[in-house]
């Protein structure tokens, strides 16, 4: 395995020439921290109302991503962009608008955080929206990479209440397997994609190192939390009712059920070697993630 460790100053961009959207989220924050540690002084686009801390050496740029003028102003002087926005209705349209704003501002390189299965004609809303944004990015003529990660290991934190109350994970996955990936590995690949355009280009599928069933995931959670955790397969409509009871909006329920359906159909079990190829290190295994996140998983909140 070749050494692909990044050194300070790596890449064609100068200090302050990389902009990161979604900079306070799980992946974006990790990308921002790594870029700052390498001396790139990244520009971090955050909501004007955000009070989230930013890494030392980074620059906060307040802007509403729905305001094209504000986005163009935020991108002024940037040459590379990490395109990452929260899951929301019309995400594909928003991101296509951001690609246009980036091109108008003189950005040369865009790295998009997409999703495994992205396809503009997909019946799954998440995949369709990401596919539409990818299509706009390809049409822009800009240098780009679309990183397509599988389900995040961090999604396990959403099961904390169920684990604490009933010792269960209740999802409509049947016996399907999924090659979940640690968000830190996605961030590491994104940093390489920003700084080494010649090595990371086009559409790149990112997964964890192995595909696990949800029964196996529950067993690892049992080992890591010190309490018994069982996987309980439920009907999709029961899952939808549980989400409604928890206050999840209808568009988000539709999005999640669509993703659950792809997992149940076996579309999330393939394993990619791209994390290893690009970063030069082994991707995180789920038991390692559980060991690192044990306290949070046990908290129940």
**Rounded-to-integer distance, Cα 222 and Cα 229, Å:** 5
- Please state the domain extents for the chain: 18-210+268-299
CA–CA separation, 250 and 262 (whole Å): 19
Tens of pLDDT, residues 11-56: 999 999 999 999 999 999 999 999 999 999 999 999 998 888 899 9
In 3D, which of 174, 265, 169, 277 has the Cα closest to residue 222? 169
Question: What is the structure's pLDDT at 283?
Answer: 98
Instruction: Give 86-114 pLDDT, tens digit per residue.
Output: 999 999 999 999 999 999 999 999 999 99
181: pLDDT strictly greater than 80: yes
Q: Please state whether beta strands 168-171 and 230-233 pair in parallel, antiparallel, or not at all (unpaired).
A: parallel
Q: What SS3 state is found at 228?
A: coil
Question: Can you point out the beta strands (E) in the chain?
Answer: 18-20, 43-46, 59-62, 80-83, 109-113, 143-149, 168-171, 177-178, 202-206, 212-213, 230-233
The candidate with the shortest Cα–Cα distance to 180, out of 255, 256, 270, 281, is: 270
- Comparing CA positions, the residue from 269, 250, 255 lying closest to residue 116 is 269
Domain 18-210+268-299 CATH assignment equals 3.40.50.720: yes
Give ∠ CA 126-209-234 in degrees, rounded to 5: 50
pLDDT score, position 87: 93
Summarize the confidence of residues 244-266 as an average pLDDT: 97
Q: Kindly tell me the burial class for residue 56, based on how many C-beta atoms sit within 10 Å of its own C-beta (0-12, 13-18, 19 or more).
A: exposed
CB 182 within 8 A of CB 289: yes
């Amino acid at each position: 395995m070749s050494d692909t460790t990044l050194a300070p100053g790596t890449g064609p961009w100068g200090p302050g020439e990389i902009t990161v959207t979604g900079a306070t989220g799980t992946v974006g924050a990790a990308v921002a921290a790594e870029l700052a540690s390498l001396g790139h002084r990244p520009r971090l686009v955050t909501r004007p109302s955000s009070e989230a801390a930013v890494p030392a050496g980074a620059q906060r740029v307040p802007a509403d991503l729905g305001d094209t003028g504000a986005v163009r102003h935020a991108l002024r002087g940037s040459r590379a962009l990490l395109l990452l926005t929260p899951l929301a209705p019309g995400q594909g349209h928003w991101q296509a608008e951001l690609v246009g704003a980036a091109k108008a501002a003189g950005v040369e390189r865009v790295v998009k955080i997409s999703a495994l299965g992205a396809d503009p004609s997909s019946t799954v809303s998440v995949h369709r929206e990401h596919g539409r944004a990818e299509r706009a990015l390809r049409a822009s003529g800009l240098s780009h990479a679309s990183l397509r990660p599988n389900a995040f290991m961090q999604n396990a934190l959403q099961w904390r209440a169920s684990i604490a109350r009933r010792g269960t994970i209740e999802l409509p996955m049947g016996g399907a397997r999924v090659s979940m990936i640690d968000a830190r590995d996605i961030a590491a690949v994104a940093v390489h994609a920003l700084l080494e355009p010649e090595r990371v280009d086009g559409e790149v599928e990112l997964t964890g190192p192995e595909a696990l069933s949800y029964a196996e995931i529950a067993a690892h959670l049992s080992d890591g939390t010190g309490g018994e955790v069982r996987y309980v397969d439920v009907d999709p409509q029961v899952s939808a009712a549980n989400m409604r009871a928890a206050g999840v909006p209808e568009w988000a329920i539709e999005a999640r059920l669509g993703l659950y359906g792809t997992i149940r159909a076996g579309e999330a079990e393939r394993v990619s070697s791209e994390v290893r190829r690009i970063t030069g290190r082994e991707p995180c295994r789920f038991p390692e993630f559980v060991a690192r996140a044990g306290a949070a998983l046990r908290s129940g909140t």
